[in-house]
């Protein structure tokens, strides 16, 4: 049987009507939260409470609710995706919190992520980085026989680890410089480490970094906040790889 | 095709520049700290060392190089910081904490850097462009920097400020040295733990080395 307890919390939630409004915190006592609820279920529960009282529910993003889509984007007590490493907001459970605790809930903040409403932010800047080169531009046909193109276990593991990035933007939100380098480097690495993607790696590195800079993300200063905040455990190793590839691409390019 | 800017205006290029200039400055401070250790030997050793340096053929080459390193490092460091603050956005941010916290030294690079910069200017004014005493060893007239040093380090306030500035440099290097490796593209599970330790040891050796010198002069030579 369920060992769930019920706890009561105080939530300080960021409310903002649209990009242009100056937002503010709104305080809500939330009663009877099952410790088995996920953080998003707790927000659903709070929204029910707000709707019953005739208020305006809190807007927040979610989709898969199992840590694979990258939609959820909540900064909890200053930490994007909450206190635990390698855990997305949707995978965070209320048993992690103490009865009577106050929790501050904010959006993923950055200049490049304008607030749409409340906790929901526009992360399409990340999509535009992908559109600048995060793909393989030739048709690679149907799925190959598993061993038609031999790939070392090491490369496939590294590529797979980089491909675990769900593009949630927690790295940007956690970074004091709002830098998107961890994201961009994961996408560059995931393709460059495999034979189909390696062909275009130079052009890709240059175009994706150029787009990232154009979106007005900050510059990395290696604090490592991104790696700590990443729900998928993307490492700084990817960023060093991106730096190497970008530099060698720039050194060897025939066209500027 | 997406249009691209020059290498040094890209975010990756700026990291390279900070990494290269930072590494160059780190080697300089290490050498400077080791050279100063001669003050523990004798006034003569210290003064002759200074004399040899100033009269070396390569001195202008090194001085010019250092000025370039300092200027690039400062200009890019300040530009980066301003761009990064703007990128952060309109509202003060609650910083990460607990398991997701970052080191104190990594968050304060611009402040530790600024203190080191101010210190460097005062240091140059007081020493390089400070009072010019002379002393003769074996018929050779050399600048008596040892005497100037004794005078300056007579004041407990001067010693305290010096030690404080070197402590901030210790923190700047603690994050900076290992960070430079990352900026230049070195990160690997095999050697990165070693680089992080190396950075810490480097920072402590340089920091403590520089701190020991004014303290020794104040307590034992005056
Ligand atoms: C002897 C003096 C100095 C030494 C040895 C030194 C060393 C370093 C090193 C090794 C780094 C790491 C570079 C990297 O991450 O790639 C760094 C970063 C930095 N330094 Fe300095 N530095 C010195 C003076 C200064 C001064 C005067 C400033 C003035 C504002 C400054 C501001 C910064 C900033 C803001 C960073 C972080 C930027 C980044 O990581 O991208 N530093 N420094
Ligand atoms: S809702 Fe899909 S990752 Fe959290």
pLDDT tens digit at each of 256 positions of chain A: 567 799 999 999 999 999 999 899 999 999 999 999 999 999 999 999 999 999 999 999 999 999 999 999 999 999 999 999 999 999 999 999 999 999 999 999 999 999 999 999 999 999 999 999 999 998 877 887 878 888 999 999 999 999 999 999 999 999 999 999 999 999 999 999 999 899 999 999 999 999 999 998 999 999 999 999 999 999 999 999 999 999 999 999 887 6
In chain A, how many domains are there? 2
User: Does residue A148 lie within any of the structural domains?
Assistant: yes
State the total domains in chain B. Answer: 1
Residues within 8 A of A (CB atoms), B 40-99 only: 80, 83-84, 86-91, 93-99
Nearest to A250 among B7, B185, B188 (CB): B7
Instruction: Name the domain boundary from A61, A87, A116.
Output: A116
B-interface mutation test, from A102, A128, A216, A220, most B Cβ less than 10 A away: A220
In a domain, residue A1? The reply is no
Cα–Cα distance list, A39 to A33, A65, A129, B104, B182 (Å): 10, 10, 29, 30, 35
Residues A251 and A161 in one domain: yes
Centre of ligand 2 to C-alpha B86, Å, is: 29
Q: Same domain, yes or no, for A24 and A111? A: yes
Structural domain includes residue A132: yes
Instruction: Indicate the Cα dihedral angle A67, A73, A76, A81, nearest 10°.
Output: 30
DSSP state of B98: G
- A vs B, Cβ pairs < 8 A, gives 150
Q: What is the pTM of this model?
A: 0.93
Same domain, A12 and A48: yes
B73 alpha carbon – ligand 1 mean position (Å) = 6
Same domain, A131 and A233: yes
Q: What domain range is A157 assigned to?
A: 124-255
Query: Which of B27, B36, B80, B172 to mutate for ligand 1's pocket (most ligand atoms within 8 Å of CB)?
Result: B172
Q: What CATH number is given to the structural domain containing A29?
A: 3.10.20.30
Q: In this structure, are A213 and A249 located in the same domain?
A: yes
Same domain membership, residue A148 and residue A251: yes
Q: What is the pLDDT of residues B107-137, one digit of tens each?
A: 999 999 999 999 999 999 999 999 999 999 9
What CATH number did the domain enclosing B64 receive?
A: 1.20.1300
Measured distance between the N- and C-terminal CA atoms of chain A, rounded to whole angstroms: 65
In this structure, are A174 and A213 located in the same domain? yes
Same-domain check for residues A130 and A250: yes
Q: Residue B154: CB partners within 8 Å, gap ≥ 6?
A: B218, B222
Task: Give the ipTM.
Answer: 0.91
Q: How far apart are CA B143 and CA A240, in angstroms?
A: 47
- Cβ–Cβ under 8 Å, residues A201 and A149: no
CB distance from B190 to chain A under 8 Å?
no
Separation in Å, CA of B149 to nearest CA in chain A = 37
User: Taking every pair of C-alpha atoms in chain B, what is the biggest distance, in angstroms?
Assistant: 71
pLDDT of B164 above 60: yes
- From the CA of A222, how far away is ligand 1's center (Å)? 12
Same domain? A148 vs A222: yes
Q: How far apart are CA A7 and CA A96, in angstroms?
A: 11
Q: Are residues A16 and A50 located together in one domain of the fold?
A: yes
């Amino acid at each position: 049987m369920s060992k769930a307890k019920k706890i009561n919390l105080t939530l300080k939630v960021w409310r903002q009507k649209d990009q242009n409004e100056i937002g503010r915190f709104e305080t809500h006592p939330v009663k009877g939260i099952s410790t088995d609820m996920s953080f998003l279920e707790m927000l659903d529960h709070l929204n029910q409470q707000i709707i019953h009282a005739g208020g305006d529910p809190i807007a927040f993003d979610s989709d898969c609710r199992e840590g694979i889509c990258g939609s959820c984007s909540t900064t909890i007590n200053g930490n994007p995706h909450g206190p635990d490493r390698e855990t997305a907001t949707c995978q965070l459970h209320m048993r992690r919190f103490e009865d009577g605790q106050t929790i501050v809930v904010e959006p993923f903040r950055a200049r490049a992520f304008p607030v749409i409403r409340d906790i929901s932010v526009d992360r399409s800047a990340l999509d535009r980085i992908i559109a600048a080169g995060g793909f393989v531009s030739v048709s690679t046909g149907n799925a190959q026989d598993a061993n038609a193109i031999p790939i070392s276990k090491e490369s496939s593991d590294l590529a797979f680890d980089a491909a675990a990035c769900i593009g949630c933007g927690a790295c940007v939100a956690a970074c004091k410089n709002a830098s998107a380098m961890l994201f961009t480097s994961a996408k560059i690495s995931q393709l460059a480490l495999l034979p189909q993607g390696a062909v275009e790696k130079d052009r890709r590195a240059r175009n994706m970094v150029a787009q990232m800079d154009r979106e007005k993300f900050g510059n990395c200063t290696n604090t490592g906040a991104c790696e700590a905040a990443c729900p998928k455990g993307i490492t700084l190793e990817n960023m060093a790889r991106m730096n190497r590839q970008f530099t060698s691409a720039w050194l060897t390019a025939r066209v500027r | 095709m997406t249009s691209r800017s020059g290498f040094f205006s890209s975010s990756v290029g700026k990291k390279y520049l900070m990494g290269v200039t930072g590494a160059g400055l780190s080697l300089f401070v290490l050498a400077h700290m080791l050279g100063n250790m001669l003050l523990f030997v004798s006034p003569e050793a210290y003064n002759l060392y200074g004399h040899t340096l100033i009269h070396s053929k390569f001195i202008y080459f090194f001085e010019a190089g250092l000025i370039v390193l300092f200027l690039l490092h400062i200009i890019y460091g300040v530009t980066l910081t301003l761009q990064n603050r703007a990128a952060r956005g309109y509202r003060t941010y609650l910083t990460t904490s607990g398991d997701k916290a970052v080191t104190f030294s990594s968050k304060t690079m611009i402040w530790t850097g600024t203190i080191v910069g101010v210190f460097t200017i005062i240091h140059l004014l007081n020493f390089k462009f400070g009072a010019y005493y002379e002393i003769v060893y074996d018929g050779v007239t050399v600048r008596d920097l040892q005497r100037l040093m004794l005078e300056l380090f007579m004041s407990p306030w001067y010693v305290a400020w010096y030690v404080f500035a070197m402590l901030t440099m210790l923190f700047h290097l603690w994050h900076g040295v290992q960070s430079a490796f990352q900026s230049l593209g070195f990160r690997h599970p095999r050697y990165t733990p070693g680089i992080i330790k190396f950075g810490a040891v480097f920072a402590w050796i340089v920091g403590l080395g520089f701190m020991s010198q004014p303290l020794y002069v104040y307590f034992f030579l005056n």
